[in-house]
Each structure stands twice: as C-alpha cells, then as structure tokens.
C-alpha cells in the first residue's frame, strides 16, 4: 500500500472513530449528565456520613473519657507502702479485698493472707459486707488494675484505697511475701 493511501485511510479511520464516540456522547449526554449528578450526590452523602461518623467518634471518646475520668481519682498505693503498713501496728485497721473477676480467678489461685474475696460482678450485695471502720485496699491482677479501680470508684467510699501494681497479688501471695502466704481456693 502506498504511503499516501495509508495516511488517508488512517485519518479516515481516526475521524470515524472520533465521530462515532462523539455521536454516542452527543446522543447520551443527558444520561451521562444524570449519572454524573448521581455520583456527585453520592459523593456528598458519603462526605456527610464520614463527617458524622468522625463527630460521633469524637463524642464517644469524650464520653468514655468523662466516664472513666472518675477512676483517676481513686487513691493508689504502691505494694511496698502497703507491705510496710501491714507490718506496722495499724495492720488490724486494714482490710485487703481481692476483687479479681471470675475470669482472672481460677480454682488454684492464691490470695494474700488475711484478704477477703468479693465478686465484682455482684457489687451491690457485696459492698454491704465491707466494714466502715477499716481502711480498705483492693487488688486484682488485671491489666492497669481495671477491676480494682472500677470497684473502688463504684463503691465511692473515701476510706477505700486501691493498689496500683498490676499483677502483684499472685507474686506476693506465693512465698517470700511481706504479706505472707494466702489461702488457695
């Protein structure tokens, strides 16, 4: 095929291709405009939903913070300080309360000697047994002392304190402890 004929046919094919797609676009321009408006409306709806979700999440985090902010006011005591108090003459004025939930409290668990155990899931009945004439120290083995902090904040009695060393009760209860060996249950 001669070069001039090739160029002529190539230009004619390109023009036909452009005319066909241009004609289809011209014929269906209203349909394409409707689809485009639909995409824009859907984009606006998604934008509103995302903004609303971010606002709801921020409000939820503020609510969680305000709800758990009360737990920060629970007095916390270090293990060494409590051990020193237990060895002093005022030890009779101290009540140790094991508040490990049933998930953390297995059948062979140690308790600190002289401690009592209350079930944190049954607090409304259990707190009635707590004496008002003793300093009460609560402990658990949860991460960040979640159970003892929650129970102490729930009880809201100024004489209740809570120990802040995570996981300390088992290590102190098993021999060599200044608190002494506690019972297995």
* Residue recorded with tokens 């809570």: 162
Phi, psi of 117 (to 5 degrees): -115, 135
Distance CA 92, CA 64 (A): 38
Q: Which two tokens stand for residue 58?
A: 């921020």
How much is the pLDDT for 66? Answer: 78
Give the start-to-end residue ranges of the domains of the chain.
3-70, 74-173
Distance CA 72, CA 70 (A): 5
How much is the pLDDT for 42? Answer: 95
* Residue recorded with tokens 């944190």: 120
How much is the pLDDT for 171? Answer: 46
**DSSP readout, 105-162?**
--TT-B--TT-EE--GGGHHHHGGGS-SSSEEEEE--SGGGHHHHHHHHHH--TTEEE
Report which DSSP code applies to 60: H
How much is the pLDDT for 71? Answer: 56
Reading the chain (185 residues) residue by residue, the pLDDT tens digits are 899 999 999 999 999 999 998 988 888 888 888 999 999 999 999 999 999 999 999 999 898 777 766 555 666 777 777 778 778 866 778 888 887 776 666 666 677 777 888 877 777 777 777 777 777 787 776 655 666 666 666 666 555 655 443 334 444 444 444 444 444 44
Answer yes or no: CATH 3.40.630.30 is held by domain 74-173.
no
How much is the pLDDT for 16? Answer: 93
Distance CA 169, CA 133 (A): 24
């Amino acid at each position: 095929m001669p070069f001039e004929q090739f160029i002529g046919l190539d230009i004619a094919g390109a023009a036909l291709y452009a005319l066909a797609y241009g004609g289809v676009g011209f014929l269906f321009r209203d349909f394409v405009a409707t689809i485009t408006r639909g995409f824009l409306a859907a984009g606006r709806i998604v934008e509103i939903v995302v903004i609303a979700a971010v606002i709801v999440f921020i409000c939820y985090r503020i609510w969680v913070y305000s709800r758990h902010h009360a737990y920060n006011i629970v007095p916390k005591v270090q293990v060494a300080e409590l051990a020193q108090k237990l060895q002093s003459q005022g030890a009779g004025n101290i009540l140790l309360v094991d508040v490990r939930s049933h998930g953390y409290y297995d059948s062979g668990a140690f308790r600190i000697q002289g401690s009592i155990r209350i079930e944190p899931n049954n607090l409304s009945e259990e707190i009635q047994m707590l004496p008002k004439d003793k300093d009460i120290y609560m402990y658990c083995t949860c991460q960040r002392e979640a159970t003892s902090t929650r129970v102490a904040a729930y009880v809201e009695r100024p004489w209740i304190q809570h120990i802040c060393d995570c996981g300390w009760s088992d290590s102190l209860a098993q021999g060599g402890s200044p608190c002494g060996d506690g019972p297995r249950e």
